[in-house]
Amino acid sequence: MTIKDAITLFGYHQRSNLKVRTVQSYYPLLQRFEGQFADRSFDSIGSDEIYQFLESLTEKLSKSTRRLRYAQLKAFCNFLIEKCNLNMRNPCNAPLLSKAFKTPRQVARRILDRKVVEELIYKTKNLRDRLIVELQARCGLRIGELLKIKVPDVLDRKLILRGPKPGKESEVAFMPEQIARRVNDYIQ
């Protein structure tokens, strides 16, 4: 199978199974890949050629974009190997590529102790600020969700969150009884 045919097949798969933004993010990579390897057979492309291609494509881009392009090309190759039942190893799995485009080690986030959170809430003097901290700590709200709450969004112990995450219109969060009382008192 030529690269041109493989990209066409992958395009059909993407359009029927993935979101439009995902398909659009693959487009520049696949367009350049086709431009360089269009008439070649997929199994004739080696890891060193893929490395050279990715280096030339991403030389002036950020590290995260470089990793994204590598991951996209790797996913493309995995798709072809799986769908076409090719008996070969993914050329993107070569040690050279894995090291050059590796994901950095994640830094562990420091989470506050329950006692520290309690003290922070207790020492907050302004009622509005205290409610903000309490709603985040006790209801698990993000600051962006919290700042969008309007008076009609508070229903007894329920909070209607508008646009909490991309792709979701609304969500419901429940408040403990004491916080619900304080929120209702604040609204009054």
> CATH 1.10.150.130 in the chain, residues?
3-100
Q: What is the pLDDT of residue 19?
A: 87
Residues 6+ apart with CB under 8 A from 68: 25
Q: What is the pLDDT of residue 130?
A: 93
The pair of three-digit structure tokens given for residue 161, joined into one six-digit string: 């969150």
101 has a pLDDT exceeding 90 = no
Burial class of 2 by CB neighbour count within 10 A (0 to 12, 13 to 18, 19+): middle
Residues 6+ apart with CB under 8 A from 27: none
Reported as a single tens digit per residue, the pLDDT across 117-171 is: 999 999 999 999 999 999 999 998 888 889 889 999 999 899 999 877 777 788 8
> Between 3.20.20.70, 3.40.50.12780, 1.10.150.130, 1.10.3210.10, what CATH number should domain 3-100 receive?
1.10.150.130
* Amino acid at residue number 161: L
Mean pLDDT of 86-96: 86
Average pLDDT, the chain: 89
Reported as a single tens digit per residue, the pLDDT across 17-40 is: 888 888 899 998 999 999 988 888
Q: What is the pLDDT of residue 68?
A: 92
pLDDT band of 89, cuts 50, 70, 90? confident
Q: How far is CA 116 from the centre of its chain?
A: 30
HSE-CB of 63 using CA atoms within 13 angstroms: 6
The pair of three-digit structure tokens given for residue 61, joined into one six-digit string: 């881009």
Residues 95 and 124: their CA atoms lie apart, in Å, by 53
186 has a pLDDT exceeding 80 = yes
Mean pLDDT of 63-72: 91
